[in-house]
Amino acid sequence: MLLRHTPNEIKERSALTINPAKTCQPIGAMYAALGIHKCLPHSHGSQGCYAYHRSTLTRHYKEPVMAATSAFTEGASVFGGQANLLQSINNIFSVYEPDVIAVHTTCLSETIGDDIPQIIAKARDEGKIPAGKYVIHANTPSYVGTHVTGFANMVKGMVDYFAEANGHKEQWINIIPGYVEPCDMEEIKRLTKELGVPSIMFPDTSEVLNGPQTGKFHMFPAGGVTTADLMRTGAAVGTVALGRLASGPAARALDTKCKVPCEILDLPIGLKATDIFIDTLRQIAGVTVPDAINLERGRLLDVITDMHQYFYGRKVALAGDPDQLISLTQFLVDLDMWPIHIVTGTPGKKFETRIKEITRESPYPVNVRAGGDMFLLHQWIRNERVDLMLGNTYMKYIARDEDIPLVRYGFPILDRIGHSYFPTVGYRGGLRLLEKILDALLDRKDRDAPEESFELVM
């Protein structure tokens, strides 16, 4: 049902979420775990939770997502899931032979209070974990945080379990890419390679969830960071973490554990954020930016200049993950567009403060809410219309109800393809994003134009 009965009058709600702008922690943890080579994510809870996590990722990426579950029944729900997890670990290593099992908890196992490190230690003592194999974990209760915090917790778990210092620094840089698409991780690696900077990216879902069709099934695709590289992260000269909420905790943990200094940046979406990313790598590695990257930047700048008249003054509403929204908002402001309604389902007052800083020169009042929902976003739009919306598939209902163009961005996107193959980070990604925004605006311009203004050339 469309949302035609959404009231214009806005009332504060402290105990009710309507149409949430988020998914749950285990989904983010499962996605992060898939970024380790030959890793099988494991949901410590009921089969229903595990099925939801897998199906959401499968529907977004249009790829089979392999995972396992402790398959809680009534007995495990009352007496605890230790026996289930021990049996699962034994079965998984015997049947599927992964290098790593990455356990994430669910509401049920967290409420019971299962001690996962103790269970993992018991499994190792009983010989259920073969030599050279690993079991790691992250606590990810669904009733706290979102898929972004689940991702952050699992990436921090990679540091806690694997990173080792060897007493001296090697000439490579760790890159923590944040909660982005596999193609975005691939693009970040490409830019790093163009700069001539040796790097280790973790997690890395490229060639895992955007791999080729070969006609053969592979339980564990070719991509993902290896356990050997995860251990080497503790000897890096530095870490560049992209996205303060999704990547910051792991970068800080690595600094604390192995004394690897870190720079925590915004996701390199758009011109300014990509400039900062490139310049940070340049300074840490002591390299010169090659002409190839300057050429990409120049092309992005050229399109911004050529198409500025169509961007100028357009009002935008956005919903999604906080790290993505911060960089998207900055990019839109750089285009002289005005983001005026911004909602993330992930709580955090720092997000609101940052958005207000970016939009401080807006000629319109700016509404921003961390821990908000799409019902609130719809109310804001009904009170102050916008020219464009950016967000995931669930925003299509608001877009149709209010007759506003929608550019799909973020997670999940269930009704379109391409988001896992065409990056939106870096200068090339900025061009892709500009094309999508411009197409949406000009399609609407053509649709609404009277016959005498229906031009062949824009």
Instruction: Place 336 in a pLDDT band, splitting at 50, 70 and 90.
Output: very high
Q: Which domains does the chain have, with CATH numbers?
A: 25-150 (3.40.50.1980), 170-291 (3.40.50.1980), 295-452 (3.40.50.1980)
* Euclidean distance between CA atoms 197 and 177, whole angstroms: 15
The span from the CA of 219 to the CA of 203, in Å, is 18
Query: CB–CB of 267/324 below 8 Å?
Result: yes
Whether residue 12 has pLDDT greater than 90 = no
SS3 at position 367: strand
Residue 247's Cβ-count burial label (10 Å; 0-12, 13-18, 19+) is buried
Note the pLDDT of residue 297. Answer: 98
Residue-wise burial string across 389-427, b where 16 or more C-beta atoms lie within 10 A, e elsewhere? bbbbbbbbbbbebbebbbbbbbbbbeeeeebbebbbbbb
pLDDT reported for residue 2: 57
Q: Output the CA–CA distances (angstroms, integers) from residue 420 to 61, 162, 410, in the order listed.
A: 7, 28, 11
**Is a pLDDT exceeding 60 seen at residue 42?**
yes
- Asked whether the predicted pLDDT for residue 227 surpasses 80, the reply is yes
DSSP 440: H
H or E element: which one contains 390? Answer: strand 388-391
Task: Please say if the pLDDT value at position 4 is more than 80.
Answer: no
**Helix runs in 267-404, H state only:** 271-285, 291-311, 322-334, 349-358, 374-383, 396-402
DSSP annotation of 37: T
pLDDT digits (tens, 9 = 90+) for 337-391: 999 999 999 998 999 999 999 999 999 999 999 999 999 999 999 999 999 999 9
Give CA–CA dist 61/411, Å, rounded. 10
CA–CA–CA angle 292, 297, 350 (5° rounding)? 130
Q: Are strands 406-408 and 170-176 parallel, antiparallel or unpaired?
A: unpaired
Question: Which distant-in-sequence residues (6+ apart) come within 8 Å of 243 by Cβ?
Answer: 176, 177, 178, 179, 180, 266, 267, 323, 324
pLDDT at 74: 82
DSSP 20: B
Which residue matches tokens 């495990």? 76
Torsion of CA 301, 304, 307, 308, to 10 degrees: -130
CA nearest neighbour of 176 among 197, 198, 202, 150: 202
104, β-bridge pairs: 43, 138
Whole-model pTM: value is 0.96
pLDDT digits 0-9 by tens, 396-427: 999 999 999 999 999 999 999 999 999 999 99
For residues 377, 381, 384, 389, the Cα torsion angle rounded to the nearest 10 degrees is 100
**Distance in angstroms (rounded) separating the CA atoms of residues 32 and 29:** 5
pLDDT computed for residue 79 by the predictor? 78
